[in-house]
Structure 1
Amino acid sequence: MSTIRFRALEKANSRTPIHVEELDKKSTIFGSNVFNDKTMRQFLTSEGYKAVKSAVQHGTKIDRKLADYIALGMKEWALSKGVTHYTHWFQPLTGGTAEKHDAFFETSFDGADPVEKFGGDQLVQQEPDASSFPNGGIRNTFEARGYTAWDPTSPAFIFGTTLCIPTVFVSYTGEALDNKAPLLRALSAIDEAATEVAKYFDKNVKKVTPTLGWEQEYFLVDKALANSRPDIMATGRTLLGHTAAKGQQLDDHYFGSIPTRVLNYMRDLENECMLLGIPVKTRHNEVAPSQFELAPIFEETNLAVDHNSLLMDVMQKVAERHEYKVLFHEKPYKGVNGSGKHNNWSLATDTGINLLAPGKTPMSNLQFLTFFVNTIKAVHDYEELLRAAIASASNDHRLGANEAPPAIISVFIGAQLTRVLAELEGVTNGKLSPEEKTDLKLNVVGKIPDVLLDNTDRNRTSPFAFTGNKFEFRAVGSTANCATSMTTLNTMVAKQLRDFKKEVDALIKKKDLKKDEAIFNVLREYIKQTKNILFEGDGYSEAWEKEAKKRGLSNHKTTPSALKAKVSKKAMDLFEGLGVMNHVEVEARYEIELEEYTKKIQIEGRVLGDIARNHVIPTAIKYQNTLIENVRGLKEIFGKDFEKIAKEQLAMIKEISGHIEGINSNVDKMTEERKKANNLTDIEKMAAAYCDKVKPYFDIIREHADKLELMIDDEIWTLTKYRELLFAK
């Protein structure tokens, strides 16, 4: 075994599990580092408290004078917790989070004593450099101004010794440069549209809140082993490496006993989450070796997105304490389960009703059907845009692979609900007879709760599945910011609900139909129109791919292909029509995501070429020389008969030469294609070139390298192997 691998394994195997103090009741520390309702009541004046609550509940603006009082209370709370700095915490279009820390401490020129200062101006707005973040052409390189603005709907929190204030990030000219601003607009749009529809069933509804419960999958790898792999450190995944003899084929890791060291990490992470008000509840082993998952209780979508973004940062920081590295990449290892971030989405009213859960009366069940069918209609009409919302270089590896849904967007609702929709499809066009009304209410709508009791199975190959009282968007990648998919989904459904209300109101007015009759008539038409998007079978099968094509469903297998839907006229009309994003913001995001795709493939190509030539080929030559010396010795001993005796060695020498030549020639070809791609000025053409011309060489080079890994003496192979990465606990 090489010195590098030996030292890495020795260090990994010598880890002593860290004992983590775990409090008996998590409720006693939950949110203690959050400027939440309880804390605001303690540190704010009644006027300041009311102003924040009104901003959260009704979107009202906070007066600058009141902002000063709120900032004062926030500062006093933070100082009481040992905080020294504050930051506007935002989510630029890099996919991660950003922060610039400023000290409360200030001095003056007049010789006065230094003070801790933090006012309304510092709370409400700051000015980070916008030109240094992705902007898709919204800002010129020489135009630096951008602004962060306080989002009072997501409470400030303390991490370490820093007060973090969630903010939006916009350009000098007002366009959104982040993920949060469009999300907030989408949430406002669906609140308005869903509330109007919910009033058909309950006039007391004044607000509808989209909820989100994400499930975060991830891999843990010992930090020493990760550091021994240049590809993991540079790209977050292994670009080379033969699959281990034992992987996930025995299904013995899934829901198995959590290793002690991993459990200590999880407990430490959960304590940090409790302090930050992140309501994590579930932890377990996932399918692949060294793969795990955690999931929280549902929250309002904006807060849930912030919590997931914060969590990913916290996970890496806690991992450092336990000598781990967290791999969020959707496919860090070839041949085993990839990682996703399932987004469980629903709608809740201010009267306490989940609009995607059936109730106890026919009317509440009709309400459920209304939102259920409208969601399916939205996915049907905008399936390409929904696919584009989860497109990335890393998620391309996962979609359609182990445990992940395919790139074809479809909706799974289960056999029982499929039968319910089939019965609704037969509703009479126009007015219903008394007998039809009774039959619908008693035998179709009234029985929905009983139907759902047996509808608990899920289709793991479905990208968008109904799971009893919510839809689970399973195709979101583990590295993704949930805001992208949630902005798209909520905007789609908001548009659909608006259209639905117009159609129902028109039927009531023109045909003199009663409300429930009009609703049934419109839903019936939607059911007929959306059959193509419903699918209950195996999403991995070739038969489904052929069937989906017949149905007219898209099948964009690569990011450059999928992203085009984002700048279609249909998408522009959707986002601009609901005020979620203007055409400049949409086009900027398209350009940014193409650039990100191109750069990631470019980096992977460079790293792969370096490893292949600096690690694999020298090691192969070294082993080949050993074989050559062995053959020479056999020739000296056995003379003319040596060829029979050394037959296997000679074949190995020849095979190694073939693989070396295969690596060298294909690295050269890949490099040439990369140079050609870099000379292109059109970002669409450049992304396509990296996808179609550069990336295919990855698999060819890897195949040669992985064959050499099996042939070469383990003592001299420099790269840590899968059996070590996946199974070192």
Structure 2
Amino acid sequence: NQYEFAPLFGLNTIQVDQNLMVMQIIEEVAVRHGLAALMQEKPFNDVNGSGKHNNWSIGTEDGIMLLHPAKVNKATGNDTAFAVIMSAIIAAVNEHGDLMRMAIASPGNDFRLGACEAPPAIVSTYLGEDITFYLSHFKDGKGEGEYIPKLKTLDLGTHEVLPFEVPAEDRNRTSPFPYGGARFEFRAVGSSQNVSMVNTVLNTIVAEKFAEFSDRVDAGEDIHDIARETLNEHWKVVFNGNNYDEEMQQELTDRGLWRIDSGVEAIATLTAEKNTALFQKMKVLTKEECESRQHILHDHYWGTVDIEAKCLVDMLNQHIIPSVKAAGVGPLSDLEAAVGTLKTAIAEIHAAEDSYKAAQLARVLRLETMIDIRAVCDAAEEVVPANLWTLATYKELMFLDQHTASTPETEPFFDE
């Protein structure tokens, strides 16, 4: 089944810390019950992975929600304020989709993205039919009225709570960055990730667009002309279709949207000239700080793979190969060769000239070499008798009722 933890909205700096605390508590409570909480984005093959939905919105110091059309239009006395704000965000996503992809890069997310359970590694935004229709007319100069979302009746099926009306704005679960009513939902974030970089990027790229609009207005341009020009220039990033569809993915690629399938290459974009200039302009990061963070992210990428590869070597040497030998059946020679292949690949990563090259090698190891080795291990698991197989089988991992119950030997983290 699927479970979600949904905290209340709050200031992003506080919410980032709370998210990390929740991850830690989940891991500690799991240990208390003799379990292990897997934060990895794709822990089980052929089964949906795990991610986070980073619900992002912006407001003024006095509490005006800028992504709530009725509230921002009323507060400004301008029926098209919402359209202007949306044009800036659309432009930011189109120009800096590479940074959005960088912020969610990890080995686990490279498995998960585009696997018909998460958005693809192509950055687009979904607005829904109503807003798309409204902004399309606005950019074409066909209307400057207020955007008023349609309403739908929500019935909770209980007598205690009567049916009530809510905005009818729908969500596209295949989009990486859909608008969901007063917020955008960045759906491509990995489950193991610290979301501070994600929100730093979103805040920075949108703030830069707001600053650009402000400078142009100060120079005498009309804000509506600026917004229309911006929408027409960046409209290609708006996509309301099925992001899982391969034909649609090709269409988005043909549009020239940011598509970076490799997390390693996505991280490398952090130090692209346009991006370091952006962070310096907005006084968020210096060029040297961008370079430092890129180095750390690449180190984290290959370091994660390094740990997983060494774990696989131990599993092969201590469990799988001895089981195959004891059974006298299974691909013994292939398994023994796999150990050498893994050790060679690990050594090459450690000998790489820099963190970028090491991460490139690690990605090949994790997404290609280790996948092939896993297939050999699966073949062994299928033929070795259960009494000789010393690891939990895939069936046992997936279905706890197949396990032999055991009492955890760990001490509880909390007082009863």
Q: Which of these two proteins has the greater Rg computed from alpha carbons?
A: 1
| 1:471 shift after superposition | 0.1
**Relative to 1, partners in 2 of residues 1:350 and 1:523: Cα closer, same or farther, differing over 3 Å?**
same
1:539 aligns with 2:258: no
1:463 aligns with 2:154: no
The structure where strand makes up a greater share of residues is: 1
- Provide the C-alpha distance between the structure 1 equivalents of 2:116 and 2:45, rounded to a whole number of angstroms: 10
1:415 aligns with 2:129: yes
The aligned residue for residue 70 of structure 2 is 359
Question: Within 5 A, what are the aligned runs for 1:19-98?
Answer: none
Structure 2: which amino acid aligns with 1:556? I
1:566 aligns with 2:270: yes
1:583 aligns with 2:296: no
SS at match of 2:48: coil
**Relative to 1, partners in 2 of residues 1:449 and 1:459: Cα closer, same or farther, differing over 3 Å?**
closer
Q: 1:449 aligns with which of 140, 145, 149?
A: 149
- Provide the C-alpha distance between the structure 2 equivalents of 1:294 and 1:365, rounded to a whole number of angstroms: 36
The aligned residue for residue 392 of structure 1 is 106
The aligned residue for residue 727 of structure 1 is 399
The aligned residue for residue 188 of structure 2 is 475
**Relative to 1, partners in 2 of residues 1:598 and 1:376: Cα closer, same or farther, differing over 3 Å?**
same
1:371 aligns with 2:85: yes
| 1:585 shift after superposition | 1.3
Structure 1: which amino acid aligns with 2:396? E
| 1:364 shift after superposition | 5.3
| 1:310 shift after superposition | 1.8
- Provide the C-alpha distance between the structure 2 equivalents of 1:694 and 1:317, rounded to a whole number of angstroms: 28
Question: Within 5 A, what are the aligned runs for 1:300-699?
Answer: 300-359=11-70, 363=77, 365-427=79-141, 439-441=143-145, 445=146, 447-450=147-150, 455-508=168-221, 518-624=222-328, 653=329, 656=330, 659-692=331-364, 695-699=367-371
| 1:695 shift after superposition | 4.7
Structure 2: which amino acid aligns with 1:320? V
- Provide the C-alpha distance between the structure 2 equivalents of 1:538 and 1:667, rounded to a whole number of angstroms: 41
* Structure 2 contact 237–257 (Cα < 8 Å) conserved: yes
CA RMSD of aligned residues (A): 2.1
Greater Cα shift, 668-677 or 712-721: 668-677
- Provide the C-alpha distance between the structure 2 equivalents of 1:320 and 1:683, rounded to a whole number of angstroms: 33
* Structure 2 contact 125–238 (Cα < 8 Å) conserved: yes
- Provide the C-alpha distance between the structure 1 equivalents of 2:44 and 2:115, rounded to a whole number of angstroms: 12
| 1:366 shift after superposition | 1.8
| 1:319 shift after superposition | 3.0
**Relative to 1, partners in 2 of residues 1:467 and 1:596: Cα closer, same or farther, differing over 3 Å?**
same
Identify the structure with bigger relative contact order (alpha carbons < 8 Å, sequence gap 6+).
2
SS at match of 1:342: strand
- Provide the C-alpha distance between the structure 2 equivalents of 1:589 and 1:621, rounded to a whole number of angstroms: 46
Greater Cα shift, 566-575 or 370-379: 370-379
SS at match of 2:188: coil
Percent of aligned positions that are identical: 35
In the alignment of these two chains, the number of paired residues is 385
The aligned residue for residue 273 of structure 1 is none
* Structure 1 contact 340–474 (Cα < 8 Å) conserved: yes
Question: Within 5 A, what are the aligned runs for 1:61-460?
Answer: 253=1, 286=2, 292-359=3-70, 363=77, 365-427=79-141, 439-441=143-145, 445=146, 447-450=147-150, 455-460=168-173
* Structure 1 contact 667–701 (Cα < 8 Å) conserved: no
SS at match of 2:57: strand
| 1:320 shift after superposition | 3.3
**Relative to 1, partners in 2 of residues 1:586 and 1:381: Cα closer, same or farther, differing over 3 Å?**
same
* Structure 2 contact 56–186 (Cα < 8 Å) conserved: yes
Structure 1: which amino acid aligns with 2:276? M
SS at match of 2:6: strand
SS at match of 1:474: strand
The aligned residue for residue 160 of structure 2 is none
- Provide the C-alpha distance between the structure 2 equivalents of 1:505 and 1:694, rounded to a whole number of angstroms: 52
Gaps of at least 5 residues in structure 1 are 1-252, 254-285, 287-291, 428-435, 509-517, 625-652
- Provide the C-alpha distance between the structure 1 equivalents of 2:261 and 2:120, rounded to a whole number of angstroms: 9
Gaps of at least 5 residues in structure 2 are 153-165, 402-416
* Structure 2 contact 107–363 (Cα < 8 Å) conserved: no
* Structure 1 contact 601–695 (Cα < 8 Å) conserved: no
Structure 1: which amino acid aligns with 2:380? L
- Residues 541-600 of structure 1 deviation map (CA, whole Å, 9 limit, x = unaligned): 221332222111232222211111101111111111111111121111111111111111
SS at match of 2:56: strand
- Provide the C-alpha distance between the structure 2 equivalents of 1:387 and 1:479, rounded to a whole number of angstroms: 15
- Residues 181-200 of structure 1 deviation map (CA, whole Å, 9 limit, x = unaligned): xxxxxxxxxxxxxxxxxxxx
Q: TM-score, normalised by structure 2?
A: 0.87
- Provide the C-alpha distance between the structure 2 equivalents of 1:364 and 1:714, rounded to a whole number of angstroms: 71
